[in-house]
Structure 1
């Protein structure tokens, strides 16, 4: 979706870690979106969890829009899913050079926009949203992975806000990654963006997997290989696609099989391993909490504290004091 305004505050963070980085979408998404916004560029968090397509998300904020129609983006077989983070009334939606609707942006609602139809908007009030970039190739890859027929088109009403609690919930999970990219877990961001794509494909594209035998968990050798790779990358993280490829599986199949075998998603398992390692490090009084965080793959002491408390129920400092007693 493109929006209006000459004085803009476009806030989005770059994440350069494994699957989350700049790449082809810098031109296909960030630069073209920035040009339409008249801000020069709008960097995006990019995931390459799918082998044949990239997906992206960026947070956009404009506090002083001007009452003029936004610029155009080059037509592309892709969609923008906008999740509104702020109320903004009386917005106009345009497609192919004509006004198609007038609507009120309401916080928590979302809307779909087809880049083949030259979407544009006239937004007179301050606004804030997340913009998910979902190319056709990503929808095709998601359908192929689900053993479903490919989607012909998405069903939506131009400019209409939809109270989609799934998109709202998934979007809220990504806000910390946009605000603190150094603390973002690449496996987690892969997982969330894939979930966004699958939800759009099913809810608005009518994707339905073809019946097939129930899938089981990982084979013993796949479990050993997957956990071996994840343990070897506790500090820097690893791309979900790379782990799946080492097991000879697609990303979607691997995620399902991993959860079925180990009872949790790969990113959750990785965090638990980091916390387990931090318990061992905390026994060494010569290491500060910051040292322990660095040794165990956390970005800083506060990142360690949050993960430790969520997993163990107490802070690292309290756990260390208990050991001493």
Structure 2
């Protein structure tokens, strides 16, 4: 799995899936690719799973379905059997050739985390290099943070047109830092705050985000304009604006949509696309969650009803 872009394909082969499951990919740390993929098969091909390419990388798996009496293999031999419970997080070292016997339906979320991504976290924090992660075979972890991040990313995997790259970058950066701290022993280092961005940097960053309400720019692309690391830029942007980049962009989308809804005969479907949403359904769901009422209701209450409203 030399590239995260091939993650879904390799994982599909590993689990004998009929096709490559969709992945969300980010380049947030030292230009390192990370990925997350949902895998599910209610009628699987029975037998021992395939092998993944041995490399200095880890899989972190959030189990979404119970898998009792799971036969676990490492380095070509059966190690043990364990009951896998839904909601539990497991870590696998790809250097050890982790495998398992597929003999019942399964459903999991897999994160691909290269060693170089962990090195990037350490480099930015100024901490000593992480040794091995806690990849004890058969040992699951009750990890609320991974469950929360996983639940957010699952929505993006199931609606691939909707999540913007800034959101994916933000979530995967938070995930990597959490894994490094919780399972790699990375210590939080308290440093004096370096403050926010300079006013000209804030202006340029906001103009960059505002020019692409669809959110196709990555955190790496924006941070690179100021010769800053992704984590430094994200932290400084939040200090300066009060919001992380992806939430600032969401606020601008909503502001743009409200402004467009003052145009009496402009359809909501057109407004959704113009404001950077994937479609009208995406717009309605996000607007309703943020504002408390649907776009149509908000428009009628604010600007009055009109014959073409839906």
User: Does 2:217 correspond to 1:238?
Assistant: yes
Q: How does 1:1-325 map to 2 (within 5 A)?
A: 24-27=3-6, 29-39=7-17, 41-325=20-304
CA–CA separation in structure 2 for the residues paired with 1:163 and 1:92: 21
Quote the offset at 1:67 in angstroms.
4.8
Quote the offset at 1:66 in angstroms.
4.9
Quote the offset at 1:213 in angstroms.
2.3
Specify the SS of the correspondent of 2:60: strand
Over aligned residues, Cα RMSD in angstroms? Answer: 1.8
Cα separation, partners in 2 of 1:252 and 1:219, compared to 1, 3 Å: same
Quote the offset at 1:217 in angstroms.
1.5
CA–CA separation in structure 2 for the residues paired with 1:145 and 1:43: 30
CA–CA separation in structure 2 for the residues paired with 1:316 and 1:31: 39
CA–CA separation in structure 2 for the residues paired with 1:71 and 1:237: 35
The TM-score, its normalising length taken from structure 1, stands at 0.88
Cα separation, partners in 2 of 1:25 and 1:212, compared to 1, 3 Å: same
Describe the superposition over 1:235-280 as per-residue Cα deviations: whole angstroms up to 9, x where unpaired: 3531111111112211001111111221111111101101101111
Partner of residue 14, structure 1: none
Quote the offset at 1:65 in angstroms.
3.3
Quote the offset at 1:193 in angstroms.
1.0
CA–CA separation in structure 1 for the residues paired with 2:182 and 2:114: 16
Cα separation, partners in 2 of 1:67 and 1:298, compared to 1, 3 Å: closer
Quote the offset at 1:58 in angstroms.
0.6
Quote the offset at 1:37 in angstroms.
2.3
The unaligned stretches of length 5 or more in structure 2 are 305-310
Quote the offset at 1:285 in angstroms.
1.1
CA–CA separation in structure 2 for the residues paired with 1:319 and 1:148: 49
Of stretches 38-47 and 96-105 in structure 1, the one that deviates more from structure 2 is: 38-47
Aligned residues, how many?
A: 302
CA–CA separation in structure 2 for the residues paired with 1:284 and 1:211: 50
CA–CA separation in structure 2 for the residues paired with 1:72 and 1:324: 60
Partner of residue 15, structure 1: none
- Aligned residues of 1:92 and 1:159 also touching (Cα < 8 A): no
Describe the superposition over 1:304-324 as per-residue Cα deviations: whole angstroms up to 9, x where unpaired: 112222332222111211233
The unaligned stretches of length 5 or more in structure 1 are 1-22
- Aligned residues of 1:89 and 1:125 also touching (Cα < 8 A): no
Quote the offset at 1:127 in angstroms.
1.1
CA–CA separation in structure 1 for the residues paired with 2:230 and 2:255: 26
Cα separation, partners in 2 of 1:291 and 1:87, compared to 1, 3 Å: same
The TM-score, its normalising length taken from structure 2, stands at 0.92
Specify the SS of the correspondent of 1:157: coil
Of stretches 169-178 and 157-166 in structure 1, the one that deviates more from structure 2 is: 157-166
CA–CA separation in structure 1 for the residues paired with 2:289 and 2:188: 35
CA–CA separation in structure 2 for the residues paired with 1:297 and 1:112: 36
Partner of residue 8, structure 1: none
Describe the superposition over 1:101-141 as per-residue Cα deviations: whole angstroms up to 9, x where unpaired: 31112111010000000110113221100000001111111
CA–CA separation in structure 2 for the residues paired with 1:74 and 1:317: 51
